[in-house]
Amino acid sequence: MRVFNFNAGPAALPIEVLEQVASEMLDWNGTGMSIMENSHRAKQVVAMAAETEELVKSLLNLGPEWSVLFCQGGASLQFAMVPLNFAPDGQLADFIDTGLWSTKAYQEAKQCGTQVHLAASSAQDDFTYIPTDYNFSRSPKYVYLTSNNTVRGTQWRNFPAQAPAPLIADLSSDFLSRRVDLSNFVLAFAGAQKNVGPAGLTVVLIKKDFAQTGKKGLPHMLDYRTYLDNGSMYNTPPVFAIYVASLVFKWIKAEGGLEVIEKFNQLKGKTLYDAIDGSSGFYRGTARADSRSLMNVTFRLLSEDLEKKFLEEAKTQGLTGLGGHRSVGGVRASLYNAVTQTAVESLTGFMAEFMKKNG
């Protein structure tokens, strides 16, 4: 029996995609073998990767000035690659700190020799909101942010419009969940394991001219130009993960694209936040209302013992992955694209029954 999966990542994938993967496991595309057994140099695999790049560009309305790269190492490797390429040797970069992952990013930039300036932070309020007031430095190489905070349940509504340098973003946990304006960005990246596929793939969106400004002489695997010049196949890429992601991108397109997906996600978020807000304090959201995430809904109960009971009983009802991040505890329901409205309504129904018994 399949459960309702609210894990923050690796996370739920569309059932249609999983079924297609299963049906093609032994014979992909008429090759007589699995996609995992095919050479990454094979014409069909190269064509699949090229099609996957075009699917991403189509979904995001990216022009020919953009390239889509398929990297490994997760967002954590990007934390180092970005400053090593674009703010090395003591050059200045601005960061907006909204929680764990952006904190890790600016700490890693420091480790890489970048001069880091915190233009804004919500640390003083436990990262419960997205800052709207910024103290940018005069001439940073770029301004870095994380679009969605999986741990604290906050999400950017509007990105800074008057930044003094191009924007770079970690989009990992809300990638392709909504329409976004990337006109002020030069680079964005996303670990696939939230919304678009299995762990092992990182999708990097980069403007071609910006990639050429990177520091020269870096190790090949840390230089974005290596991926750009070799079609992301300088070495063996995560072919299986790219293949699954391509099926997810096709699924998004078949559903109606990002406009439709965004509406689905808004409905799911409203359903769950209404249940929290209507509980008279039995459930308490941890993010400020104007910064609430549609991807990761975080909340607390009246006591940690009650939270433990909630999580244990939820599992018996087929509701899994609801534990908060280990650094903060509490409850977290991740509502990524593949999580259905039925799953959310099952969760809110359980919440109502649990409150009735324990309130």
Q: Does 3 reside within a domain?
A: no
Q: Which of 280, 288, 297 shows the shortest CA–CA distance to 331? A: 297
For residue 184, what is the domain's CATH number? 3.40.640.10
Is 46:39 a contact under the CB 8 Å cutoff? Answer: no
Domains in the chain, number? 2
Residue 145 shares a structural domain with residue 232: yes
CA atoms within 13 A on the CB side of 150: 25
User: Which are the catalytic amino acids?
Assistant: 101, 170, 194
In a domain, 7, yes or no: no
Q: What is the pLDDT of residues 315-335, one digit of tens each?
A: 999 999 999 999 999 999 999
Show which of 224, 255, 286 is a domain's final residue. 255
Kindly state the DSSP code that residue 41 receives in the 8-state scheme: T
- Is the pTM of the predicted complex or chain greater than 0.95? yes
Over residues 217-237, the pLDDT tens digits come to 999 999 999 999 999 999 999
CB 154 within 8 A of CB 148: yes
Q: Is the dihedral of CA 177, 178, 182, 184 positive or negative?
A: negative
Answer whether residue 359 shows pLDDT above 90. Answer: no
Whether 165 maps to a domain, the answer reads: yes
Range of the domain at 266: 256-358
What number is the average pLDDT over the span 105-120? 98
Strands (E) in the chain, as ranges, are: 4-5, 66-71, 92-97, 115-121, 143-146, 148-149, 154-155, 167-170, 185-191, 202-207, 284-285, 296-300, 319-320, 331-334
Cα 142 from chain centroid?
A: 20
Q: In Å, how far from its chain's centre is CA 106? A: 18
Residue pLDDT, tens place only, 27-77 = 999 999 999 999 999 999 999 999 999 999 999 999 999 999 999 999 999
Cα gap 197→16, rounded to integer Å:
13
User: What is the pLDDT of the chain when averaged over all its residues?
Assistant: 97
Range list of β-strands (E), 11-142: 66-71, 92-97, 115-121
Give the CATH number, domain containing residue 285: 3.90.1150.10
Q: Are residues 27 and 162 in the same domain?
A: yes
Q: Residues 349, 284: one domain?
A: yes
In which band, very low, low, confident or very high, does the pLDDT at 135 lie, cut at 50, 70 and 90?
very high
Which of 217, 240, 255 lies at the terminal end of a domain, its last residue? 255
- Residues contacting 217, CB < 8 A, separation 6+: none
The H-or-E segment that residue 202 falls in is strand 202-207
351 Cβ contact partners less than 8 Å away, ≥ 6 residues apart: 275, 279, 283
Whether 81 shows a pLDDT value over 90: the answer reads: yes
pLDDT band at 288 (very low <50, low <70, confident <90, very high): very high
* pLDDT for position 1: 83
- Domain-located, residue 340: yes
Give domain status of residue 112, yes or no.
yes
Single-letter code of the amino acid located at 203: V
How far apart CA 101 and CA 79 sit, in angstroms, is 9
Supply the pLDDT for residue 114. Answer: 98
Looking at residue 220, its pLDDT comes to 98
| Predicted pLDDT of residue 357 | 97
* Residues in a beta bridge with 325: none
Please indicate, yes or no, whether residues 171 and 157 belong to a single structural domain of this protein.
Answer: yes
- Is the same domain home to 195 and 338? no
User: At which of 210, 240, 255 does a domain end?
Assistant: 255
